[in-house]
Amino acid sequence: MQKNDPDITLITADAPLAEATHGGRAKCLQRLVRLDLPVPRTIALSFNTVHAIASGELPDMARLLAPFGDAPLLCVRPSSQDPDWGGPGAVLNIGMNDARHAELADRIGERAAAILYRRFIQAYAIHVARLDPDIFEDLPDDPGQGVSQALRAYEDETEEPFPQDATVQLAEVLRSMARAWEGTTARLLRQAKGAPADAGLGLVVQELALGLGKGECGSGVMQLVDSQTGARQITGRYLSQSQGREALSGDSGALYLERDPRGPSLEELAPEAFAELKAYTARMRAQLHEEMQAEFTIEDGKLFILDGVRVARTARAAVSIAVALAEDGIITREEALMRVEPRALNELLHRQVDPEAPRDVLGRGVAASPGAASGRIVFTAAAAQAAAARDEPCVLVRRETSPEDIRGMHAAVAVLTERGGMTSHAAVIGRGIGLPCVVGASDIRFQTRKKQLTVPDGRVLKEGEVVTVDGTNGEVLAGTPRMLEPARDASFRTLMEWADANRDIAVRANADTPGDAELARTFKAQGIGLCRTEHMFFEDDRLTAMREMIFADSSEGRLASLELLLPIQRADFIDLFRIMQGQPVCIRLFDPPLHEFLPTDRAGHLQLAEALDLPLSNVERRVEALGEYNPMLGMRGVRLGITVPEIYEMQARAIFEATLEASREGEPVVPEIMIPLVSARREVELVKTRVDAVAAAVRNENGRDFAYRLGVMVETPRAALRAGEIAPLVAFLSYGTNDLTQMTYGLSRDDAGRFMSDYVKLGVYPEDPFHTLDTEGVGELLRIGADRARGANEDIVLSICGEHGGNPESIAFCRAAGFDYVSCSPFRVPVARLAAAQLALKDKIG
């Protein structure tokens, strides 16, 4: 069935075309025409026309073909609204038939003409007639014989001759491409890339510029930047037919665009065409405000521009390109900021597996901490430390990590765990120290006693074998694939400076050690939003004293042990304050249950008994007594601080004495002290009284004054709901969204990874709430808490310091709720800075 359709549009400078009706490729070709580039004659078919074709309503084919004259050779390409949504493959050489084959043989030679015809027969048979590609497997190498045999194979399979009428050929190609787009498989694939279910497809029908003839002929692509780095250099490829490197024959020899040490380059073969091509590509860059790749052909020395597409680029190149376009005055700085995806910055901050490298995937899990590293498998923290002492890279493999594994994690180059999710111990620590980490790899069988892993395909990996952990993609790879190094170059620094000039919410870093604080400074964090002091107690010189304190039977005994820890803790805080140079440092008081500092096996108990000079039975009884059924909801945080007050008193003294010492140089330090796991006003009153008393004692002992701010880490739903009662007692509330999410959902963040992917697939949750802040449920608690806190204390400072703090979606919520800052792992600070700037710019644009 045929009907006249007004949506057949010859692409001219003033033709009525739009991306929303004809797709991106059609609109880009119009822009090239407006730039006066030598684009072959092209017709655009609208989304509506293509949808009608899929339903069996063909446009007026005579009208469509009229602009191309008699016996045209054509190609048809897809034109979707977003190029990332894909589309059916292009079909070339439409119009080839017996007569055209003979005519072309006289003009460009029998071999080239036969190859064109044979390729069209095969493409038409496979993509239009839907024949099995195997029927062409045994075609002879001789192109002429190949054409005859391909025609016979087509006729044998379809029981009709190969169509010779260009109108019929084009009609069937259009119908096939339109129906392929509307098929179920194609729809699901593009929906997975973010396309709406009813996304339309346009088609462009273009006169074919063969790049074949008696003079210099060929085809290729050119761009003015390197796709990997964004560096300014001409890159691309050119296949010269006239130099005996036939683009049609499958010869892989690509000539350089510029001077080629292996032979003549395009610059030498066709200097005028090369100069034009450079000028046209530069014009595209300047006028289209983008780095473009030009697809071209040269026919008897004459240049044709077939298409222009946005240059493919890595994250590093994206930053470099955006900054260069802004510095050249082609786009504004604000536009440059909006062109870089914040999460893509992870690729610049960590080593990555080269996307072009072969990948032998052993298993998959949750991509918990970005970056990639290769090393030998080890199964214990002690083995990791031993490997590091030998300067041997290792991957720490554990069912799940615990605070006892901290030293092993610092020694390893990557971590792999069987259990856990985005906020599990391994994930949080990995992101904090920039360690590639894959957690929840439950498809791999962990046999820790045998010190081996069995992967889904049956391969067994033993301790000492080399694997690569790709924490960016959540994959475990065999061997050592090629890597790309981090790239925190001048373009990156420039982009970050522009981001800071535009954002309106502060970004701090979670930092537990001087090394973390140095990273925070490197990434221009505006202070430390969370310093978890418990991590400081796992070093060898502190752990024994900590365990002595745990085993003490009286307050005096605990004080004696803590007296040993006081100077060490004080030195830690002095280092942090000096590194941060007057910027705010928020120190969370001791949080974890005490049993985390005790060994879990008999060998460890025996070693501890020897260290403390106690009977083994005493040690075992004490360990058993400290055990809890649900330690994350047990004796930890403020509950421990109230029932064993000596710990918080020692920490407060260490903070205040460090404050005085660090304030001797530079600006006065004003520490922030945060009480964890609060659920009641009275808890805050009790701790505040003791902290204020320690502050008064330190002032009297030293004869010097200092200021400090006391706050609460809101991690329980009750604290959020009763924030109005708590706020008058404190200077700030910082929402610990990791635990708050866990308690709101009643989910263990360490175990949720086992079923979370199924829940997301089934639509129970839109996203993993430990990965993306639940703005409806947890978010409502944050809003209630913020409103009630401000109602009781208008000067109170509000923030979030969970891992959500580095997510663009969470930052958008915090800005809307009027929070003062977000805090996240040091390596996520640049992501947060850019995301905050983009959100501020979107608000300005409206």
Q: What's the CA gap between 811 and 789, in Å, rounded?
A: 20
Pairing of strands 483-484, 352-353: antiparallel
Beta bridge partners of 9: 44
Closest CA to 789 of 732, 733, 737, 727: 727
Cβ-proximal residues to 103 (8 Å cutoff; 6+ apart), any chain: 71
Q: E strands along 5-128, which residues?
A: 8-10, 42-45, 74-80, 91-94
531 has catalytic annotation: no
> 10 Å Cβ neighbour count for 386?
15
Whether the CB-CB separation of 734 and 676 falls below 8 Å is answered with no
Report residue 265 as tokens: 């380059």
The vertex-776 CA angle with 774 and 782, nearest 5°, equals: 80
Cβ-proximal residues to 453 (8 Å cutoff; 6+ apart), any chain: 362, 377, 397, 444, 445, 446, 447, 460, 461
Whether the CB-CB separation of 10 and 43 falls below 8 Å is answered with yes
Q: Which residues of 506-539 are buried (b: 16+ CB within 10 A; e: fewer)?
A: bbbbbbbbeebbebbbebbbbbbbbbbbbbbbbe
Q: What's the CA gap between 533 and 512, in Å, rounded?
A: 7
Beta bridge partners of 367: 438
Whether the CB-CB separation of 678 and 713 falls below 8 Å is answered with yes
Q: What's the CA gap between 154 and 824, in Å, rounded?
A: 62
What are the distances in angstroms from CA 486 to CA 50, 137, 320, 369, 772? 45, 45, 14, 15, 26
22 has catalytic annotation: no
The vertex-639 CA angle with 637 and 643, nearest 5°, equals: 125
Closest CA to 241 of 339, 112, 429: 112
**DSSP one-letter code for 406:** H
Of the residues 75, 217, 394, 801, only one is catalytic, namely: 801
Closest CA to 352 of 310, 317, 400, 380: 317
Amino acid at 387: A
Whether the CB-CB separation of 61 and 170 falls below 8 Å is answered with yes
Q: What's the CA gap between 570 and 660, in Å, rounded?
A: 11
Amino acid at 231: A
Amino acid at 515: G
What are the distances in angstroms from CA 196 to CA 18, 23, 53, 199, 233? 18, 14, 20, 5, 37
Q: What's the CA gap between 466 and 395, in Å, rounded?
A: 8
Cβ-proximal residues to 223 (8 Å cutoff; 6+ apart), any chain: 234, 235, 236, 281, 291, 292, 293, 294, 311
Q: What's the CA gap between 170 and 15, in Å, rounded?
A: 23
Whose tokens are 């959020």? That residue is 720
If 0-12 CB within 10 Å is exposed, 13-18 middle and 19+ buried, where does residue 58 land?
A: buried
Whether the CB-CB separation of 350 and 371 falls below 8 Å is answered with yes
Whose tokens are 């660090």? That residue is 662
Of the residues 22, 127, 350, 425, only one is catalytic, namely: 425
Instruction: List the end-to-end C-alpha distance of the chain, in Å, as a whole number.
Output: 47
Report residue 843 as tokens: 């608000």
Task: Supply the residues annotated as catalytic.
Answer: 425, 801
